[in-house]
Structure 1
Amino acid sequence: MAKKIVRAAEVGFGTVSFTVSGDDKPVIKTFSSSVGRINESRIGQADMGIGKRETVEVDIDGDIFEVGPDAYLSAQDSDDVLSDHYVGSKQYKALLKGSLSLMHDRVIDLLVVGLPVNHWSKKNELIKLTEGVHDFKGGKQRIVKKTMVLPQPVAGLVSYATSLPKQEFEKNFKTANVVCVDAGYLTLDVCTSRGLTPIEKRSGATENGFSTVLNEIIPTLSKAFSLTNNLSRRLVDDAFWKTNGKLKVRGYEYPFPICKKEENDLGIEYDVTGNINSSTSTAANYVRNIVGSGDDIDYFVLFGGPIKTFEPAIRAQYPHHKMIVLENNLTTVVEGLFYAGKQVVRG
């Protein structure tokens, strides 16, 4: 009997992660949630045989978009971030359909997709969007037989539980009270559970994700560089995780988040640590409000792309608790989605 194909996708406001192949262990691809509208008149989209971008084209309601690792090169600011409509937006549909195109299997028996807690009402809409036949350029097809949707922090919890040795899972995890915190671009999601069973009244989401950190620090940085317009969000985002604590502006690199004027020839000076702490403290206060004092909590599991930015503020709220920060924090959710799907098909 042929094994059923399980694939998973997480379309976030900052990044997209999905499984392209793999049976027992998933092979995962991740890229920025940038969506570029195809405009044949743009010179940047002309195929001159050199510097070809790594993207795929998808048709969404008659509009052609490109998504992939290099899509940000053609994305306008308005296309670069998903709208609050999320599942109903063309950007979301383009990113999800592009992910399907990049998966290696023509027929997918079970597709598992994650949703932020505050978009859980979109579950049925997402199932309708994904199940069925998807046609792509060049005659390529993807057929999704069935879709399952999970809240993103629950998927992260599944990923962590799957990583535990069987003895530890049975002896400690199944009866433990655990708080999972999933830091995303727009939201910070919290799931309190006993083992793998969520405690709904102590779970939720706040719209104080990483975007609020960027919103807080960009005006200060823009002023420091004497810019008439705001500094690019992408440059600031890169300084957190991609360029190893360096902010690159106008071809020069500056220390981040603190830059002293004596450390550069242009007299640039800024310190945005206070701005960062202010934003992350607001998010951590939400965790405290929904979880409580934590006297009955055994430990916290932290994940999500920008979780290390929020970690100090969460630790400050719970200084006496064990905090487990998952190393694969960027792909934790999609791994959990995959493993949850595998468990379902095994029965």
Structure 2
Amino acid sequence: MEPIVRAVDVGRGNTKFISGIKNGELRCEMFPSQAHPSEVAVEAEAWGARRKTVGIPAGGLVYEVGPDVHLASDVFNANVLQHDRYCDTPEYLALLLGALHYMQVDRIDLLVVGLPVATYKLKSLVTALERRLTGEHELGKGKRVKVLRAKAIAQPAGALMHYGLMHSKVAQLRKERSLIIDPGRRTFDWLVTQGMQQIEKRSHSVPRGMHDALQAIVEGISRSTGSHYRDYDTVDAALRTGKKPIVFQAEYDLTRHLPLARKVPEQAIAEMMHYVGDASDIRNIILVGGGAFFYRAALKGAFPNHTIHELKDPIFANVKGFQQAGMELARSSAANGTSTELPLQPDASTGESDE
């Protein structure tokens, strides 16, 4: 029987996952990375449509997660995954198990998950996470799933694998040095690789993601309107679509706040350049992640002598790469009759500890 491989990328903005594979095509879904705790599972509404969420038991509480989780929100935001050890929290586990719930499988032979580069360097944390995810889990609504094996990799590594497969360049990439850049909601991650090995001392992440750019704009709106404006999602949608957001029943021009917001990607890239220099030794620069559109101009300005490669649907690039790497691992293990490693692993000669 074909081994069941699935991938999940619990980001600080959205939880992305592979919901299935049909005719060789990976089907991706996502929901906001918000987990609302309660003492008991959410009951069905007596009227109206039932919101698309599920109650996941974790850490002695029940966390409501899913596509309609915004309907469960209160005045305080439930985005709590804001530190390097976030994968050790019950909220992280609830989000990941929520993704497994929507996959509708009762067994996973190999589960591949991603972590920010800075978190991935904490090796004891990675090992603990893989052990935590292995075994049987309760998914709410009477569902359970058994995970036989779990592996974690650095988030941008998935994008490298996906890029290579989409452009039929895996063999070529194995001979070249690459820089994968992943601006997410909370973190700005980058990964330097030699072939498919990660050069850890040149790879890292900093907390200068899209949230910081959005915060600069939100604070500007608050100042100009004399209010405590906090609708980050509306501002985010406006930046992506180019349409003016509605603030106090009127269209609001964000232009005046953009110069300050654009300093965020400039600062993030300046920090990255301490690690990668002018990238003169790097053959491929690949830009992915949900914030790619906002960081593109600053990145091109920092590396004017390079072509910046981008992928379609960059927000799903990492999780697709996790899935593809996991499927390759499963095939190799089946062919060799032994357990092998994922094709994207740290360079042992430049590895770092979690101290």
Q: TM class by shorter-chain length?
A: 0.7 to 0.9
**1:169–1:338 Cα change, 3 Å:** closer
**1:135–1:163 Cα change, 3 Å:** same
Could you tell me which residue of structure 1 aligns to residue 110 of structure 2?
110
Measured in 1, the distance between the counterparts of 2:183 and 2:277 equals 19
Identity %: 28
Q: For structure 2, which runs of at least 5 residues remain unmatched after alignment?
A: 333-355
Instruction: State how 1:239-318 maps to structure 2 within 5 Å.
Output: 239-241=238-240, 244-255=242-253, 257-258=254-255, 271-318=256-303
Measured in 2, the distance between the counterparts of 1:82 and 1:72 equals 16
Could you tell me which residue of structure 2 aligns to residue 268 of structure 1?
none
Cα pair 1:108 1:142 within 8 Å, conserved? yes
Measured in 2, the distance between the counterparts of 1:83 and 1:315 equals 28
Instruction: State how 1:1-347 maps to structure 2 within 5 Å.
Output: 2-22=1-21, 24-38=24-38, 47-76=45-74, 77-84=76-83, 85-120=85-120, 121=122, 122-165=125-168, 168-170=169-171, 172-227=172-227, 229-241=228-240, 244-255=242-253, 257-258=254-255, 271-347=256-332
- 3-state SS, counterpart of residue 305 of structure 1: coil
Measured in 1, the distance between the counterparts of 2:128 and 2:40 equals 32
Q: CA deviation at 1:240?
A: 2.7
Q: Which residue identity does 1:113 align to in structure 2?
A: V
Cα pair 2:161 2:170 within 8 Å, conserved? no
**1:222–1:40 Cα change, 3 Å:** farther
**1:248–1:38 Cα change, 3 Å:** farther
**1:299–1:27 Cα change, 3 Å:** same
Measured in 1, the distance between the counterparts of 2:329 and 2:5 equals 10
Report how many residues are paired: 326
- 3-state SS, counterpart of residue 128 of structure 2: helix
**1:98–1:294 Cα change, 3 Å:** same
Range 138-147 or range 120-129, more displaced = 120-129
Cα pair 1:40 1:46 within 8 Å, conserved? no
Cα pair 1:186 1:208 within 8 Å, conserved? yes
- 3-state SS, counterpart of residue 246 of structure 1: coil
Range 288-297 or range 33-42, more displaced = 33-42
Measured in 2, the distance between the counterparts of 1:40 and 1:150 equals 34
Measured in 1, the distance between the counterparts of 2:225 and 2:58 equals 39
Measured in 1, the distance between the counterparts of 2:196 and 2:41 equals 52
**1:244–1:88 Cα change, 3 Å:** same
Q: For structure 1, which runs of at least 5 residues remain unmatched after alignment?
A: 259-270
- 3-state SS, counterpart of residue 22 of structure 1: strand
Measured in 2, the distance between the counterparts of 1:96 and 1:37 equals 15
Q: CA deviation at 1:299?
A: 2.7
Measured in 2, the distance between the counterparts of 1:46 and 1:345 equals 40
Q: CA deviation at 1:197?
A: 2.2
Measured in 2, the distance between the counterparts of 1:203 and 1:181 equals 10
Q: Which residue identity does 2:126 align to in structure 1?
A: K
Measured in 1, the distance between the counterparts of 2:59 and 2:203 equals 36
Could you tell me which residue of structure 1 aligns to residue 341 of structure 2?
none
Q: CA deviation at 1:251?
A: 4.1
Q: CA deviation at 1:341?
A: 0.4
Measured in 2, the distance between the counterparts of 1:41 and 1:157 equals 39
Measured in 2, the distance between the counterparts of 1:32 and 1:184 equals 13
Q: Which residue identity does 1:22 align to in structure 2?
A: I
* Residues 258-316 of structure 1: per-residue CA shift (max 9 Å, x gap): 2xxxxxxxxxxxx1111122111101102222111122222310000011111111111
Measured in 2, the distance between the counterparts of 1:91 and 1:337 equals 21
Measured in 1, the distance between the counterparts of 2:96 and 2:71 equals 19
Q: Which residue identity does 2:267 align to in structure 1?
A: T
Q: CA deviation at 1:245?
A: 3.2
Measured in 1, the distance between the counterparts of 2:174 and 2:88 equals 37
Measured in 1, the distance between the counterparts of 2:224 and 2:32 equals 27
Cα pair 2:41 2:62 within 8 Å, conserved? no
* Residues 225-280 of structure 1: per-residue CA shift (max 9 Å, x gap): 221x2422232233233x5433232344434x32xxxxxxxxxxxx1111122111
